Amino acid sequence: MTATRGLEGVVAAQSAICSIVDGVLCYGGINIDELAEHATFEEVVYLLWHGVLPKRDQLTELQKQLGENATVPKEVIDSIRTYPQGVNSMAALRTAVSTLALYDAEAQVMDPEANYRKSIRLMAQTPTIIAAFDRIRKGLEPVAPNPSYSLAKNFLYMLTGNEPSDTAVKAFDVALILHADHEFNASTFAARVTVATLTDIYSGIVSAIGTLKGPLHGGANEAVANMLQEIGSVANVESYIRQKLDNKDKIMGFGHRVYKDGDPRAKWLRQMSEKLTAQIGRPELYQMSEKVEEMVTGEKGLKPNVDFYSASVYISLGLETDLFTPIFAISRMSGWTAHIMEQYTNNRLIRPRADYTGPVNQHYVPIDQR
């Protein structure tokens, strides 16, 4: 048996949710370029869950269900109040979502209808949890969700208590669409491995959140924001990146296991970054990013991934840096739940083998003789 490092190129299962063929990303067979241009995030959630775009009444029903289920049990909000100051935001999200399960009477019910209802609750309540966490740590009271708002608008509203602008809502909605699913990425695969034991959906989502947290996966967008802050100005890009490249450090937001010729999501975020950074009067954020891209692509041949320009987009929307990865989780909740439901419908335990490289023919040595 020979191991494939990082399972690169291994096809682990069949899936009808999302495809990446020749660098083209599709949800349910629809190119994400079309979805980013024309769809709403709620339409995409329906597409991922059902495999087809919703008709008008189906979309209205889903919007209603998401709105009605956005309120988080009081006990979960109270538990967030007990988190230590300065706690990692993804650790907080992981814990809060795990706590949600304790207050969901259907948490252990495994029929498909119950799992669909739980997917709606997870999708609807994750933004409420993140906004409440952010407000509580700032000494503010959480803002109750407005059931008539879209998921994107509601999240921005719950963070500040103010009506977000249409431009901000549209930009955030497109960012949610672009991050919604990505085939067997690390966190989705972790969720599928977890639920393939036939454990409950919350356990699968907690595995996924823990996996997304890492800097090689969802944590990269926050690392990019920190890097832009450290660079500080366009004039500093060259020396900063030169030093990183000479030290053989990884530049966050570049490279991808699947796309060697560019991430199709990045161009959307680049456009949004250019527009939004200009609108807030901080065009240097885009200019720095552009220059970083020029150097890293020019010297290493590495292209930006979804995380690179999402950093300056989220900064422009006034979002806290350490909420970038939790925001990724809001969007990816749609994909995670879609994959979990698909896994349940045609389940087989996921249990690969290891290529053993340790010692052989050893014997037990009594403790005093070791």
- Asked if residue 252 binds ligand ACO (CB under 6 A), the reply is yes
Report the residue from 24, 216, 235, 278 that binds ligand ACO according to the rule CB under 6 A: 216
Strand ranges, E, within the chain: 18-21, 24-27, 30-31
Q: Which two tokens stand for residue 6?
A: 């990082």
- Asked if residue 254 binds ligand ACO (CB under 6 A), the reply is yes
Q: Is 302 in a helix, a strand, or coil?
A: coil
Q: Which CB sits closer to ligand ACO, 204 or 219?
A: 219
- Minimal CA–CA distance to 237: which of 299, 315, 295? 295
Binding to ligand ACO in span 130-149, by CB under 6 A: none
Q: Which two tokens stand for residue 241?
A: 């990146």
Placement of tokens 């609750």 in the chain: 121
Report the residue from 35, 92, 220, 338 that binds ligand ACO according to the rule CB under 6 A: 220
Catalytic residues: 256, 307
Q: Which two tokens stand for residue 66?
A: 């998401």
Write each residue from 284 to 303 as x if it is in contact with ligand ACO (CB under 6 A), else as -, in one continuous string.
----------------x-x-
Region binding ligand ACO by CB under 6 A among candidate stretches 53-61, 131-139, 142-150, 210-218: 210-218
Q: Which two tokens stand for residue 344?
A: 């349940």
Q: Which CB sits closer to ligand ACO, 70 or 175?
A: 175
Q: Provide, rounded to whole angstroms, the least separation between the CB of residue 142 and ligand ACO.
A: 28
Length of the chain: 370
- Asked if residue 104 binds ligand ACO (CB under 6 A), the reply is no
In angstroms, rounded to a whole number, what is the distance separating the alpha carbons of residues 178 and 185?
14
- Minimal CA–CA distance to 24: which of 258, 264, 332, 261? 264
- Asked if residue 326 binds ligand ACO (CB under 6 A), the reply is no
Question: Using CB atoms, what's the residue nearest to ligand ACO?
Answer: 255
Q: Which CB sits closer to ligand ACO, 217 or 267?
A: 217
Name the region of 284 (left: φ>0; alpha: ψ -120 to 50; beta: rest): alpha
Report the residue from 134, 173, 293, 307 that binds ligand ACO according to the rule CB under 6 A: 307
Q: Which CB sits closer to ligand ACO, 69 or 289?
A: 289
Compute how many residues bind ligand ACO; rule: CB under 6 A: 18
Report the residue from 257, 261, 278, 280 that binds ligand ACO according to the rule CB under 6 A: 257
- Asked if residue 253 binds ligand ACO (CB under 6 A), the reply is yes
Q: Which residues pair with 30 in a beta bridge?
A: 27
Task: Identify residue 26 by its one-letter amino acid code.
Answer: C
- Asked if residue 306 binds ligand ACO (CB under 6 A), the reply is yes
Q: Which CB sits closer to ligand ACO, 96 or 302?
A: 302
8 Å CB contact between 172 and 155: yes
- Minimal CA–CA distance to 326: which of 246, 216, 234, 210? 210
In angstroms, rounded to a whole number, what is the distance separating the alpha carbons of residues 12 and 280?
44
Q: Which CB sits closer to ligand ACO, 63 or 334?
A: 334
Task: Identify residue 226 by its one-letter amino acid code.
Answer: N
Q: Which CB sits closer to ligand ACO, 6 or 366?
A: 6
- Asked if residue 255 binds ligand ACO (CB under 6 A), the reply is yes
Q: Provide, rounded to whole angstroms, the least separation between the CB of residue 6 and ligand ACO.
A: 5
Report the residue from 117, 170, 250, 275 that binds ligand ACO according to the rule CB under 6 A: 250
Ramachandran angles phi, psi of 68, nearest 5°:
-70, -25
Ramachandran angles phi, psi of 23, nearest 5°:
75, 5
Burial tier of 148 (Cβ tally within 10 Å: 0-12, 13-18, 19+): exposed
Q: Provide, rounded to whole angstroms, the least separation between the CB of residue 265 and ligand ACO.
A: 9
Binding site for ligand ACO (CB under 6 A): 6, 216-218, 220, 250-257, 300, 302, 305-307
